[in-house]
Every structure is written in C-alpha cells, then in structure tokens.
Amino acid sequence: MYTIDEIVTTSRVDERGKLKFFAAMQMMQDCSELWQGSEPTWNKFFRENHRAQLLASRQVEIYRVPDYGEKLSISTWVYSCRATFGLRSTAIRDEKGEICYASDSMGAFISLDTAQLKKLPQEVLDSVTFEEKLPMVEKSRKILVPEGDVTLLDPYRVKRSDIDYNHHMNNSHYVRLAMEALPADFEPKGLRVEHKIPMRLDEELQIKLTTVPDAYYLTFLCERGISAVMEFT
C-alpha cells in the first residue's frame, strides 16, 4: 500500500468550498502514479524498457465530499495483476479514517515505442505485494450507453495543459470536461469510465451527452473512434 497526505486547498474547491470531483480524481491518480516509484523492480523495468500503464477503466463510489481545509489521506494498492493488465483499489479517507471516495481501476501495460499492449515478465509481476480488494459493488467495465435524450456539446480541442508525461490527455481531464457539461446542481454519487483511445495534443473531441432517468452518459469521440465513455449516477 502506498499513501500520501493532502489538504483540501483553495484551488481544489468549488464555490461552496467543497472538493471538486476533478481534484479528487487527480489525487487518486497521483497516488497511483507515485506507487510505481515506490516499487524498485517495477519502476526500474518500466523506465528502462519504455513501458507505461494506461488507465483502461475506473469505477468510483462517492460517500462524502470533503470541505475546504480538511486533511485527507489517499491510499492505493494492487490486488491482482496479469501479464497485460493490473487491478488496483484506491481510497480517499478523512481524518477519522472514514472513506470519502472508493475506486476500483484497471490499467493496461503498453510499450511507449509502439503504443501496443506488451506483457510484463513474471519476475516483475512477482515483485509486487498484493493486498485485499476494497469492497465495492462490482459493475461491468464495459459501458453500454442506453437510449435517452441526446445533446451534442461544443467540440473541444486538446490543449497543452491537458497533456501529461505519457504525451496524451490526462485521464482526470475527462472528468473536468464532464463536470462542465453536467447540470450545475448535479452531485454525483458514482462514476464509471471506460478509456479506449488516448487523445493527443490538438486533436478534437466531439462530446455527446445522453440523459436518462437517474444517470448521465458522456461519449467522447475523435477522428480515430471513441476515446472514452463515462457514466455518472
């Protein structure tokens, strides 16, 4: 398990002084990335062999949204790993140790040289300590968008500020765009996201919002196909 401590600061809250969902997603993603640096064998292999782990899917359950000034701890751990993908739990807890956000995610192992799936050797997999999965209601990693009221949003062109060191749009920025598209008074309790095609600098996203009773779906489309699908409940 790897843990970092955070404080809900001014730049991370909305007009009510509540932690933005975008900021919470950044905290969880940052913790997951820092975990890799804490695993010497894993980190060395990925660095020397130009490998990366790209987020393929994530499920989040929201129990309570923290307020400005609260101290939080973010923990992440791997509970299963195969040659081409890994599964991890991540939790954001308050000072009392109670969970505010729970996450289950799957990351695919790729070669940065080819952008294709690439298996990890057994000795790298054996170097990881596995822990128990965080209890969550299991939902499908595949998201099927139902029939509903469809709204086409203004196109979005990927900016330099969206790009991370893997040279694509950071996954948390999909949440930022989604929250701008959803009604201002909507308070999500759950999220599922399926990532398909990483977006590159200057590529354009067409965003389709589908509204059904009790849920919103966002489909992010680019010239190469579907980049991501999200479900907010």
Residue 165 confidence class, pLDDT cut points 50, 70, 90: confident
Q: Which helix (H) or strand (E) holds 25?
A: helix 21-37
Q: Is the pLDDT of residue 36 over 90?
A: no
Identify the sign of the CA torsion 141, 44, 123, 32: negative
Which residues, including other chains, have CB under 8 Å from residue 26's CB and lie 6 or more apart? 172
Rounded to whole angstroms, how far apart are CA atoms 111 and 156?
A: 28
Q: Does domain 149-232 have CATH number 3.20.20.80?
A: no
* CATH hierarchy code of domain 2-126: 3.10.129.10
Express each pLDDT in 91-108 by its tens digit.
Answer: 999 999 999 999 999 999
Looking at this protein, which amino acid is placed at residue 127?
S
User: What is the pLDDT at residue 138?
Assistant: 87
pTM: 0.92
How confident is the prediction for the chain on average, in pLDDT? 95
User: What is the pLDDT at residue 112?
Assistant: 85
Spell out the alpha helix ranges (H) of 50-171: 122-126
Q: Where are the domains of the chain?
A: 2-126, 149-232
User: What is the pLDDT at residue 222?
Assistant: 95
User: What is the pLDDT at residue 113?
Assistant: 85
Torsion over CA of 121, 126, 129 and 130, rounded to 10 degrees?
A: 80
Residue 228 confidence class, pLDDT cut points 50, 70, 90: very high
User: What is the pLDDT at residue 115?
Assistant: 81
User: What is the pLDDT at residue 62?
Assistant: 98
